[in-house]
Amino acid sequence: MTHPSPAPTGRRYFGHRRIHHVTERRFNQAITHLAEQVRLAHPRVGLVVGVARGGTRAATALAGLLGVPSTLVFARHNTSEATHLPASGDVTVDLTDLPLRLSDMAEGTDVLVVDDICGSGATLQALRRALSPHLGADTAPVEAVLCRNLGSAHAPDLVVWEVDDWVLFPWEDRPASALPLVEIPAPSEGKS
């Protein structure tokens, strides 16, 4: 049975067929893949900004491979850790240490914003709005995510996997769900 891809609506889409499992192996492959994409398409990146909590490991690993500093910002809108919940759309953003880090950046470099998933797009959009006043005229925010939900109307610059169900990352506990846990394909194998 085929399942049509949903049209982007800005609302997370869940097919309720499986839980995509990003194993440690797939995570490492994804980080290597993203680093290659950043080097090719966005060589001016001079700072990696991880969206805590989900983007913390990815941002730290990417910054290490790219040889640039990293920092964290806090942005959150999920009201619970339960699976398949709609995003609230009400995003709180805390940039506490970011202005200082941005002032240390070399002129003409870009900022790589990293998160684990673009579910509805609300977090990345809120973060882009919050970052904008702190960026120089020649500094562009570049967005990279491990996963983008097919329902999201937001399109980050770099995406490893397009997903149509809940995603379990290596740093998360397995959710209480009867759905099968299915390892996500290697980044080079395309959409999940």
Q: What is the pLDDT of residue 90?
A: 67
The radius of gyration of the chain's CA atoms, rounded to the nearest angstrom, is: 16
What pTM did the predictor assign?
A: 0.85
The verdict on residue 10 lying in a domain is no
The verdict on residue 151 lying in a domain is yes
Question: Which tokens sit at 129?
Answer: 């709005």
Residue 97, domain CATH: 3.40.50.2020
**Per-residue confidence band for 13, with pLDDT thresholds at 50, 70 and 90:** confident
The verdict on residue 2 lying in a domain is no
- pLDDT tens track for 34-71: 999 999 999 999 999 999 889 999 999 999 999 999 99
The verdict on residue 112 lying in a domain is yes
- Own/partner pairs for 130-138, CB < 8 Å, 24+ apart? 130/73, 130/75, 130/93, 130/95, 131/49, 131/95, 131/98, 134/95, 134/98, 134/99, 134/102, 135/102, 135/111, 136/107, 138/107, 138/108
Strand partners, 70: 48
The verdict on residue 190 lying in a domain is no
Question: Which of 12-26, 72-86, 175-189 has the weakest average pLDDT?
Answer: 72-86
Taking the C-alpha atoms of residue 80 and residue 87, their distance in angstroms, rounded to an integer, is 10
Instruction: Give me the number of domains the chain comprises.
Output: 1
Name the average pLDDT for the chain.
85
Write out the residue range of the structural domain in which residue 175 sits.
Answer: 19-77+89-183
Is the confidence at residue 154, as pLDDT, over 70? yes
Question: Which tokens sit at 77?
Answer: 């809108």
